[in-house]
Structure 1
Amino acid sequence: MYDRLKRAFLGVAVAGLALSLTACGGSDDEDHLPATVVEVAQTNGFNALLAAATKAGLGSALSDPKANLTVFAPTDAAFNALATRLGFADATAMVNALPASALSNILSYHVLATRRSAADLGTAGSSLTTLYQFDGRAATLALSTSGGVNLTDAVLTAAKVSQADVNAGNGVVHVIDKVLVPPGVLNLVQMAQANPAFSTLVGAVKQAGLESTLAGAGPLTVFAPTNEAFAAISSTVAGLSTAQLSKVLTYHVVAGRVLSSDITLGAPVNTVAGQSFVVQGSPLRIVDTTSTAAPIAATDVRASNGVIHVLGKVLIPTL
């Protein structure tokens, strides 16, 4: 059943996908439920989702009366927020610019192959298996039901379910307040842009003229300091020349895709800056030229052209 739904979902153009809350949300009258998710009335206009799904060529599983799907549906505001972070004018510009394959992968990351009501999600454990396949297996979303239903995606940002249990005859829709970002679809720069915690890093990358390099074919590994890490040395960063800033940033970059499982603790890690650092364990941290180690807060954030590991300190090379 899962394979059949997945093939259907990924294979056929959507005739029209829009999600209405007023027509069916919370109704106890089963006779008035739309027959399928696709037939949920268009009165509440999830226009960006509709446009993305249409371009991606998705939908027969959403129209299949034998299906029993769960769809996490981002609002138009959620699509516009992601578009702005990625540098597009709005959601329409983003949908027009992204390839159909990327949109297909992003949207399939919002769909579960079985119906999960809000009550079901409360007992589902800590993760949900989506229809998006990455690295030969189904990608998952981290799930928390403390203080409502919250989903954490591959870029380490959380989406909250703002309205649950919008029912259709072949599934259920939960409205969410952000677009879920899957692994392996956006490039390194876009993945950093999609997480507001890296806005200072993104700004520094652009200032140093490294954006095209980090958005290129790669693969590259980026040890990415958070905004808080940059704030801790803001006066130092402000005094750097462009060449020095470039050296600091490239000291955070390693050629090749280096997952956490590939790192040898205690061995030098050669960087693009031509200098090395050492990763130590328990807990994971990086030793650079300073006396303070950099804690590794998260690992293996997968981009289309590499991988990101999150740092709580900016690494300082010899300048």
Structure 2
Amino acid sequence: MKKIIFSSYLKLKSAPLAFMFALLFVAASCDTQDDVQPDSRALVSDNITAALKNNNWSAPGNSSAKERKPTFNTLLVALAKTGLTSTVAKEELTLFAPSDEAFAALGLYPNNIGNVPNLEQILLYHAVQGELYASDLSAGFVPTLNGAAVEVTLNGGVQVNGADVILADKRALNGVIHVIDEVLMPPTLNLVELALSFNPEFTILVAAVQKANLVNTLANDGPFTVFAPTNDAFVALLNELGFPNLDAVPDETLRDILLYHVVPGRIYSSDLSTGDVTAANEDTFYVNTSNLTITDANGREANLVPSLLNVQATNGVVHVIDRVILPELGN
């Protein structure tokens, strides 16, 4: 806008003095108007940490009552105690910032926040690499610095793992802050521990993992996406293949079957698309997202269980299926 006005000024340099004063007044007015745009980058001088501390924001909702304005003392102390203050101040991040009220709902305050186990991982679960404004968010899963993902839903507003975003798009020099009304808790169990927590529905799966010597891999490596068959699915498989029990299945055959249910990386339901998926044993199976089915290498079909999708572990994600899928096993 300044360039356009300056060009006009050159063309009209012979205009009456009063007209030139008017032109300069318009230029000054335009500059002032640009400067007062909400959250303008030109006015952002605080990094994320400083922005949380200075908190020059309006109260949520229509009320301007001072007591409704969110504060972040507990979060700031938590960042300091975990050594993450510098990370949040320098990295380009999107931070889902729980207010003091959100921490207080869990009985957490500046004087006891340092006693929380896995505090660093909890805080990293609130941070996303890069800048994501409200207009960039869509329903689905967003990976965090913790490794696990948060689920974004849009239901009359923006929710993150069910927590409401009460103030959005608060800009900082190195990113953006969205204030939330709950503290987000990341997964704490690895894939094997998660399968055991479903006990007894997945006891045969866990026994199979032990027999195939995959416990260490699935507990400590990854991340992996596991399509996990239920106990009933394994019982049906043993009957289908004519084995009296799991012990009768050769270890290498069982290992190949299990690795056919494992895909490297975290693949959430919102990431799935219809087509072939390559498993950890290098065979492929076919996913149909329109009816939530998986077709294995032998043309056998399994159903994804809608209520048990996207169950997160520290090193991956689980989708429950109702049938054991089989790679090409030959005889």
TM-score normalised by structure 2 residue count: 0.46
Q: Return the structure number with greater helix share.
A: 2
